[in-house]
A and B are shown apart, each in its own frame.
Chain A
Amino acid sequence: MPTRPAGAAIPFTGRLTRRFPRDPWPLAAGAVALVVATPILIVLSSLATPTLDVWAHLWQTQLLELIWNTVALIVGVGAGVAVLGTGLAWLTTMYRFPGRAIFEWLLILPLAVPAYVIGFVFRGLFDYAGPVQTGLRRTVGPAIWFPDIASYGGVVLVMTLVLYPYVYLLARTAFLEQSEATLEAARALGASRTALFWRTALPLARPSIAAGLSLAVMEALADFGTVAIYGYNTLTVAIYRVWFGLFNREAATELASLLLLFTGAVYAAERAWRGRARFYQTERKARPPAPRPLTGWKAWTASGVAGVVVGGAFLLPVGQLVVWSVAALGGSDFDDRYPEFVLNTLAVGGITALLAVGAAVVVAYGLRLSRSRMVAACGRIATLGYALPGSVIAVGVLVPLAFLDRVCNAVLRTVWGAEVGLLVTGSMAGLVFAYLVRFLAISVQTVEASLVKVTPSMDMAGRSLGSSPGGVLRRIHLPLIRGGLCSAAILVFIDVIKEMPATLLLRPFGYETLAVRIWQLTSESFWEAAALPALTIVAAGMLPVLILARSSARARQGADGEQGMKGSRDQGRGDKVP
């Protein structure tokens, strides 16, 4: 192992590696990451043989506009979700106001609504022919001005409402993990509420906020459904145009690689923002911060803001879905296979969520113990998939699967003289693998954001006392980051059940999910009939959120009574390592 002076940024891991050189974890992390990275590398490799005529055409017509639009989109959405997500998380964890206990959970729910649903409902309601403008023209007069929803502002508004929960959920966990003692200390040192937020709480929560923010930005980059509804041309739109219109999948894949460069920039920006600072949780938590009551107009403003967000991002679209479902009840496609669609949906979501969290723990822990740049690079590449449109990922997955099947059959033919047909292409395993490739970023980002806050001195202590790395993970880290693991599982579950293009392309024959159902109906403009499966997806996505809410409420009650219960979840002081 090459020795390198331990840099200031990673002092402890360096020492860990030197003292315990035979860890299997970095190797396992590298292996998992490499398998998941394969389809992404296939996509990236397309850049080696560029389709020059398509690039020349795009350069002459719209490439600069596409890049500009894409940058503008991620800047706008990034700023929107950072402010809304962090602000709401701070509001609900630190203050008491009317409805806080309910808003705390309602604010996560927009996550359960697929982006294309919110996008579609908003355009339907606020477009010229929609009920809002029609009503205004009728009551106020035909000349009334109304902002154009199919615009940059409209797209940013809708995407912010869809994506802020990523930041909210992670920032909220981070704020809750900060103990009363830390904040009390800051206050005792004379910090105002504002200073407390900017100088103590925000820096401590920064890894989580950055993780949520990069997830939101990556999803905005990969989004096709929403930008297409709003006629806002980004690189993703161009990918589909080149693929379906010019019938040039190679060029489409090359364009998709460009999205990966954007993601690389996002990662670099996050790194730069975090700088060399690391924040660790070193003590057991005594108590989560107690919310301060807000009074008078401040209290009602807080409720109002939370209410507007929940109303716009959740109640409005869900209400519209309910109205459509009722309208379509007579001629809807509801039939006896419906329970099967629901079961299939829950199954792929659940399986992938478990596997994604397991893989994320291996990758994140391996990265923690490793100083190998190789492993780190694999880990980074394996989490790029989230910024790629589902169809591009799906094709990237299809290529190695089909190759595997061909090899299998060739071997069997020579050995037994018989073939088995397709084993992995169009199998459940293939589909789940595609989801892993697409959504591993979510679980890794979330788990890493939790793990990075556990001080390496814990590892040192555990290992010095004779525990194996696996033992340290099981007995120290996993209990400490349980909240992060739950968040990761929920986020992956919800994203999987909403996912459409990869499901369409890779699902096993006869395996229909709710998302496939929605595609079936919306692709032929049967929106009212599509409302029922959409509503079911929302309900399925709400399920884990509600379970989390209940178990978290119970845990908080339990923590009050039982002092020092096993696996006390969190930390205390925020230690800044120089």
Chain B
Amino acid sequence: MIRGSSHRKAAAILALWMTSATLLVPADAARDGGEVVVYSARIETLIKPMFDAFTRKTGTVVKYFTASEAELFERLKAEGPHTAADVLMTVDAGNLWVAEQAGLLQGFESPTIAKNIPAHLRAKDHAWVGLAVRARPIMYSTERVTPSELSTYEALGELKWRGRLCLRSSRKVYTQSLVATMITTLGGERTEAVVRGWMTNAPRIFDSDTKQLEGIAAGQCDVTIANTYYLARLKAKDPGFPVAVFWPNQNDRGVHINVSGAGVTRYAKHRESAIRLIEFLSSPEAQNLFADGNYEYPANPEVKPHGLIAAWGAFKADTVDVAAAGALQAEAVKLMDRAGYK
């Protein structure tokens, strides 16, 4: 029975390993003040360089736990006062608004942040701070479209775009925030008419911004709406990638922008370190890392964006309160359901 005993040995090793892994999970009572714990919906690749820089500068160790927003929120809620999290980082102001509504954040005021980050990129009640900005303009094929054909998001409902339009799935928060801000400015009825206009053009629905842009390059469609950094990544790989940015609505509300940001959790054990970390993230040093790492627009106006996206020129951004749009996100989803936007 040699095989049997080796099975048993393997099982014993596994069991031992499991127990040790369980015991090694740090209980929050055992931690000292020299660290700060971040729950992040931004992935490791995009946040680690800033955290490393913070540790080098202050000696405070940054520990992080990454998962998608809805799941992070559930975990934070379930952990309640025992949570290890000091800082919550996430993409999209709508998500930050939800976290605030769920009572997961505590407000904090900081003169450093007031100096570094413009007021319209922060929560009015200081619950969270925007750290990087992404714009979601129209993008078009440089081979089949001339910029003069384009004007506004609304105009993508014109008949000339029939069969030529690609759109991101309405399941994505980027689409939901775009429509939610339109509801704020245009009202529900007009927004629904706009979305129905898009739908009459039988758009091809994609599950990823990158795939939409590749679709345009391949000739599947001619125009779409996408986040700037996705095109920047493709352009960085292939400067000749045949898609360009068009800044829509320059004569009225401006281009839809959104932020990724951070806040201090309600039950933070290291509140001071948490605030220091967020202050650092708003500083020019960290903002440069944001700008270079993922081609996002720095939230700190002193810092210049990466050359690749700076080349697309300045634009008028929609200054509508993006967080207020969080309140309208559910309405936006229902509106898109009614309009048949999948």
How many residues on chain B are close to A (CB under 8 Å)? 63
The answer to whether A194 has its CB under 8 Å from any CB of chain B is no
If A398-B75, A405-B82 touch, whether A525 touches B209 (CB-CB below 8 Å) is yes
If A129-B220, A428-B22, A510-B63 touch, whether A241 touches B78 (CB-CB below 8 Å) is no
Residue pair B69, A244 in contact (C-beta under 8 Å): yes
The answer to whether A395 has its CB under 8 Å from any CB of chain B is yes
A29 to chain B, nearest CB (A): 22
The answer to whether B330 has its CB under 8 Å from any CB of chain A is yes
Name the B residues within 8 Å of A241 (CB-CB). Answer: 171, 333
Mask, A403-414, CB within 8 Å of B = 1, is 001100100000
Q: Which of A181-189, A245-253, A267-275 makes up part of the contact surface?
A: A245-253
The answer to whether B84 has its CB under 8 Å from any CB of chain A is yes
Distance A247 CA – B10 CA, assembled complex (angstroms)? 44
Q: Which of A207-215, A294-302, A418-426 makes up part of the contact surface?
A: A418-426
Residue pair B171, A428 in contact (C-beta under 8 Å): no
B341 to chain A, nearest CB (A): 11
Report the nearest B residue to A429, measured CB to CB: B22
**Cβ < 8 Å to A, chain B residues 206-264:** 206-211, 214-215, 217-220, 230, 233
A252 to chain B, nearest CB (A): 9
Residue pair A520, B45 in contact (C-beta under 8 Å): yes
Name the A residues within 8 Å of B26 (CB-CB). Answer: 509
**Cβ < 8 Å to A, chain B residues 104-118:** none
Residue pair B215, A128 in contact (C-beta under 8 Å): yes
Report the nearest B residue to A509, measured CB to CB: B65
Mask, B1-36, CB within 8 Å of A = 1, is 001000000110011011001100111110000000
How many residues on chain A are close to B (CB under 8 Å)? 68
Return the contact of B68 from the options A428, A504, A521 (Cβ within 8 A). Answer: A504
Name the A residues within 8 Å of B69 (CB-CB). Answer: 244
The answer to whether A526 has its CB under 8 Å from any CB of chain B is yes
Return the contact of A422 from the options B67, B82, B205 (Cβ within 8 A). Answer: B82
Report the nearest B residue to A510, measured CB to CB: B63
Residue pair B218, A134 in contact (C-beta under 8 Å): yes
Name the B residues within 8 Å of A419 (CB-CB). Answer: 29, 82
Distance A175 CA – B75 CA, assembled complex (angstroms)? 46
Report the nearest B residue to A129, measured CB to CB: B218
Report the nearest A residue to B71, measured CB to CB: A505
Residue pair B79, A351 in contact (C-beta under 8 Å): no
Residue pair A129, B21 in contact (C-beta under 8 Å): no
Distance A391 CA – B74 CA, assembled complex (angstroms)? 10
The answer to whether B329 has its CB under 8 Å from any CB of chain A is yes
Residues of B within 8 A of A (CB): 3, 10-11, 14-15, 17-18, 21-22, 25-29, 37, 43-46, 63, 65-71, 74-75, 78-80, 82-84, 98, 169-171, 173, 176, 205-211, 214-215, 217-220, 230, 233, 329-330, 333-334, 337-338, 342
Residues of A within 8 A of B (CB): 57-58, 60-62, 127-129, 133-134, 142, 228-229, 231, 233, 237, 240-241, 243-249, 333, 347, 350-351, 354, 391, 394-395, 398-399, 401-402, 405-406, 409, 419-422, 425-429, 432, 501, 504-506, 508-511, 516, 519-521, 523-526, 529, 551
> Could you list some 21 contacts between A and B, CB below 8 A?
A60-B338, A129-B218, A133-B218, A231-B205, A241-B333, A243-B70, A245-B333, A350-B14, A398-B78, A402-B78, A409-B82, A419-B29, A420-B27, A422-B82, A426-B25, A508-B22, A509-B65, A510-B65, A519-B68, A520-B66, A525-B209
